[in-house]
Structure 1
């Protein structure tokens, strides 16, 4: 009998590289993460930090010239990096599903949304009739609160609003009742009202189905609202990991502190927001030592030469900083 106390997904030492004319570059570098059953892991960081490549690696959708060079991705103890391509196609959709960043480019413009949802269902249930698949697809559209789902079934993506297209993507992802949903920037380009509706929908569907969620975003507000646990990524690595309350209430890495300081708050009066100087270094020009040290206001000489490991500072709260916790050098 399966041990339900074990995480649904465990990522161990995952490393994803891309071959270029100048040699191999590392986009995801030794990431260790776990996702408990029925809970939400938020992965946050600036653009270019490796969040999306991490999610594609879990799905084994990294395109050439990229490849997964090392690590394990264990779903219920089964290493997805070791199964055959045919087995992995069965896993996608039925056990792990993904919502991609931009629904207008993810949906095929020449097929109706109903056709695309039933296509995903047909891949995992070849015995179902067309009428059965249509009924199940309309039920899926109704579940994600699309009005008049029987009419929307026959419409094309361009006939729907951005929020409706995102709901279609969620319906498609959940059509085969996966154990794990990966949502990559699910609210990008949506206005705040539609964003709130999509997040409420994901939360309700999680409570209804018991699925786990990996929520990938650069929006700390979304993370605060949705995530049970948070992993902060920088330059291909996890630099801080903890329960959401600990990340927001007691950050232990200077990068996390900078991210939080750049967000306006209603309970504080500030004339200016904090800013993290510079930008995420490209993977072909990573600095020696701590990868954040060129942008870190608290960097010490040892930060320029020593690469900090992700270590547990207090129980359940890890940070990759030689000088962590932050209180030690903020005061």
Structure 2
């Protein structure tokens, strides 16, 4: 089999607090194949965004990466010098965020910001303005020659997100990390952005890590899905298997909370409680206090991911779920 573009192994990111160190990402291992899309889903606070910041080595203080490796084409990004990592960011791995207005500089024209990103990785390159215009045209922004000299506040939310995508792809990265790229957009613009990402992936062959809480977006975009809860991956499988045969109670709860057109329900299912904070994790399985299938044994030890079918892993001692339901 071909080696993955990105391989994350045992990644652990911790924050220092008055009560000691707590883990926001706790022993995560994932792989992103070339030209494919990995969807990472879970509730707010489960560690999705911190995982992406760890890959980019942008963990805010007082956080730090305490263990593990993040290998891009076999090269461990965690061992690179700050200067080497700056070359990786944007040049080989790029990232777009959910709210472009906070990512774009409001006092600089968008063209200047795109050109600055290209200059950082290609010093001395010529015709950068023409390339910036082409980058805007590539993400379907009308009249790119005029838009190049406009400021972020003059653009709509969808247009600003397209500018962020253009900036991220300006240096042709091998991997794009999209952290909730459509959350702040209406559904029509959301569909356009997702279509655009698919088209650009087909054109360039880049890999995508798509971080979202929206399972509809995952169903539309992802080839592989990792479900995160309280800093850990609790289920991982091909996207089709996640939707057709979920095996972790948390995944079942997420899917059950989505309204469906093909069945009638008086009310949607809900997962009781909230994601536990990193400084107050329960013993054993972290989902056990909220799990309808939990038994006493769930509190004994944290269950590891184990393979239930080819490529389908779940961290639950009662999986497969058919047995848990029957019991």
TM-score, scaled relative to structure 1: 0.98
Matched, 1:241 2:239: no
Matched, 1:298 2:320: no
1:100 positional shift = 1.3
Q: Give the aligned partner of residue 71 of structure 2.
A: 74
Residues 162-311 of structure 1 mapped to structure 2, 5 A cutoff:
162-311=157-306
1:306 positional shift = 1.6
- Report the number of matched residues: 326
Partners in 2 of 1:65 and 1:160 — Cα distance?
35
1:108-153 CA-to-partner distances (Å, cap 9, x unmatched) read 1011111111110000111123xx1111011000000000001110
1:326 positional shift = 1.0
Contact 2:70 2:77 in 1 (8 A): yes
1:219-269 CA-to-partner distances (Å, cap 9, x unmatched) read 000000000000000000000000000000000000000000000011111
1:87 positional shift = 0.5
Matched, 1:91 2:82: no
1:75 positional shift = 0.3
The SS at the match of 1:289 is coil
Partners in 1 of 2:300 and 2:44 — Cα distance?
25
Q: Give the aligned partner of residue 104 of structure 2.
A: 107
Q: Give the aligned partner of residue 44 of structure 1.
A: 41
1:322 positional shift = 0.6
The SS at the match of 1:94 is coil
The SS at the match of 1:81 is helix
Contact 2:98 2:184 in 1 (8 A): no
Matched, 1:19 2:11: no
Q: 1:63 aligns with which of 56, 60, 65?
A: 60
Q: Give the aligned partner of residue 28 of structure 1.
A: 25
Partners in 2 of 1:185 and 1:207 — Cα distance?
21
Partners in 2 of 1:207 and 1:71 — Cα distance?
31
Give the unaligned 5+ runs of structure 1.
none
TM-score, scaled relative to structure 2: 0.99
Q: CA RMSD in A?
A: 0.8
Partners in 1 of 2:320 and 2:124 — Cα distance?
57
Partners in 1 of 2:38 and 2:141 — Cα distance?
26
Q: 2:125 aligns with which of 101, 123, 128?
A: 128
1:304 positional shift = 1.4
Partners in 2 of 1:270 and 1:34 — Cα distance?
37
1:172-231 CA-to-partner distances (Å, cap 9, x unmatched) read 000000000000000011000000000000000000000000000000000000000000
Partners in 2 of 1:275 and 1:238 — Cα distance?
21
Partners in 1 of 2:304 and 2:125 — Cα distance?
51
Contact 2:55 2:70 in 1 (8 A): yes
> Structure 1: which 4+ aligned runs deviate by more than 6 Å?
none
Contact 2:11 2:68 in 1 (8 A): yes
The SS at the match of 1:263 is coil
The SS at the match of 1:147 is coil
